[in-house]
């Protein structure tokens, strides 16, 4: 039920006690400028610091603030999905709490939405506070994924975006566990556009996206939207087999028609190690896909809510 709410803001948080009050302040100020009824849904993704208590106090003093507390850390993608299930606005914006994505950009997104666009994503034209390695790796990844997926993936964008209610309803139909939300929205289609902005440094605290989490998100993106790695493994296998066959012919020729022989076992050992390594890499790619099939087959819940604050009884059912 909409209850007259025009805009819903979804904010997944994890150990953000140093920045959460400032994020609340800035986002509330921006929403006030719209002159429309709105709500902010914070999803605490298993924080171990004082974030939960701060959010409870904020929700207690403002009826527009709602809070979902997950039973443990399920990850950003699951937290966003939890917020989407509860959001009731005609337009839904989701963003991080670290203020790297400036809240004032929300007003530009709303303008595009009023112009008739169903999805408005924020495109980063500059990323402050990030080293060259992270910027370069992100740039390569986005373009590689777009190439492998075979359809239009916007590059240089993150989770910061606005989606129309009908897009959110379509997104709810996806129940896959290892999800990549921004990819799912691109796959859905609808009328999409971008808003360019400069991404700021974190307002406070440290990034929660470790290298391991970035790698997992990348794997989720690749395995969810393309089986190109499997095809590459097959092509590479054929290529290596071809090289091996040619080498076998060379060895047979040397043994039958020349007196040239390979002295020692060094070259044989090196070749065996090389090909065994290739086989293990290919098996690892297969295993990654099989493991994800196993996760889907178990059909466990995407997340578990341990507590909700600010939602009416019907919304919690």
Position 317 scores a pLDDT of 46
Give me 265's structure tokens.
Answer: 């076992």
- pLDDT bin (cut points 50, 70, 90) of residue 299 is confident
What are the helix and strand counts (H, E) for the chain? 10, 8
How does the average pLDDT of the chain come out, rounded? 77
If you ran DSSP here, which 8-state letter would residue 18 be given?
T
The pLDDT tens digits for 98-151 are: 888 888 889 989 999 999 999 998 888 776 656 666 666 666 666 666 666 666
- Domain covering 7-208+301-316 assigned CATH 3.90.550.10 in the classification: yes
Distance CA(301)–CA(77), nearest Å, equals 13
Q: Are 158 and 203 in contact (CB under 8 A)?
A: no
- Measured CA to CA in angstroms, residue 306 lies from 7, 31, 146, 303, 309 at distances of 25, 28, 37, 10, 11
- pLDDT bin (cut points 50, 70, 90) of residue 162 is very high
Give the pairing of strands 65-70 and 305-309: antiparallel
**How many Cβ atoms sit within 10 Å of the Cβ of residue 7?**
23
The pLDDT tens digits for 210-242 are: 566 566 656 666 666 666 666 676 677 677 767
Q: Given a cut of 70, is residue 179 above it in pLDDT?
A: yes
Give me 98's structure tokens.
Answer: 């670290």
The pLDDT tens digits for 240-294 are: 767 766 766 666 666 666 665 555 545 665 566 667 767 777 777 777 777 777 7
If you ran DSSP here, which 8-state letter would residue 314 be given?
G
Please, what's the b/e burial string for 271-296 (b: 16 or more CB within 10 A of its CB; e: otherwise)?
Answer: eeeeeeeeeeebeebeeeeeebeeee
Q: Are 79 and 43 in contact (CB under 8 A)?
A: yes
pTM exceeds cut of 0.75: no
Average pLDDT for 289-310:
78
The pLDDT tens digits for 23-79 are: 898 898 988 888 888 899 999 988 888 888 899 888 888 888 899 999 988 888 888
Q: Given a cut of 50, is residue 169 above it in pLDDT?
A: yes
Distance CA(171)–CA(167), nearest Å, equals 6
Position 204 scores a pLDDT of 55
Position 255 scores a pLDDT of 61
Q: Given a cut of 90, is residue 172 above it in pLDDT?
A: no
Sign (positive/negative) of CA torsion 163, 168, 169, 173? positive
SS3 category, 36: coil
Q: Are 46 and 125 in contact (CB under 8 A)?
A: no
Position 290 scores a pLDDT of 76
Give the pairing of strands 91-94 and 157-164: antiparallel
């Amino acid at each position: 039920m909409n209850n007259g709410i025009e805009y819903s803001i979804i904010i997944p948080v994890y150990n953000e006690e140093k920045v959460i009050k400032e994020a609340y302040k800035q986002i509330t100020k921006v929403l006030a400028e719209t002159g429309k009824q709105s709500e902010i849904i914070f999803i605490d993704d298993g924080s171990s610091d004082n974030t939960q208590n701060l959010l409870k106090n904020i929700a207690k003093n403002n009826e527009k603030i709602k809070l979902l507390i997950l039973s443990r850390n399920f990850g950003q993608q699951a937290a966003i999905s939890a917020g989407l299930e509860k959001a009731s606005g005609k337009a839904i914006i989701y963003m991080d709490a670290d203020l790297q994505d400036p809240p004032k950009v929300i007003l530009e997104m709303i303008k595009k939405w009023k112009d008739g666009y169903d999805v408005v994503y924020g495109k980063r034209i500059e990323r402050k506070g990030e080293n060259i390695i992270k910027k370069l790796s992100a740039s390569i990844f986005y373009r590689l994924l777009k190439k492998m997926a075979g359809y239009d993936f916007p590059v240089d964008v993150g989770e910061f975006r606005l989606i129309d209610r009908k897009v959110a309803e379509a997104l709810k139909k996806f129940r896959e566990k290892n999800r990549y939300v921004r990819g799912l929205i691109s796959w859905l289609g609808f009328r999409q556009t971008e808003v360019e902005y400069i991404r700021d440094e974190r307002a406070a605290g440290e990034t929660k996206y470790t290298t391991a989490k970035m790698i997992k998100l990348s794997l989720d993106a690749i395995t969810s939207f393309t089986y190109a790695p499997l095809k590459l493994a097959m092509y590479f296998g054929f290529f290596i087999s071809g090289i091996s066959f040619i080498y076998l012919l060379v060895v047979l020729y040397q043994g039958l028609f020349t007196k040239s022989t390979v002295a020692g076992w060094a070259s044989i050992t090196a070749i065996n190690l090389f090909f065994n390594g290739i086989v293990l890499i290919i098996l690892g790619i297969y295993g990654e896909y099989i493991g994800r099939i196993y996760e889907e087959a178990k059909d466990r819940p995407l997340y578990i809510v341990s507590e909700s604050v600010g939602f009416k009884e019907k919304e919690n059912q």
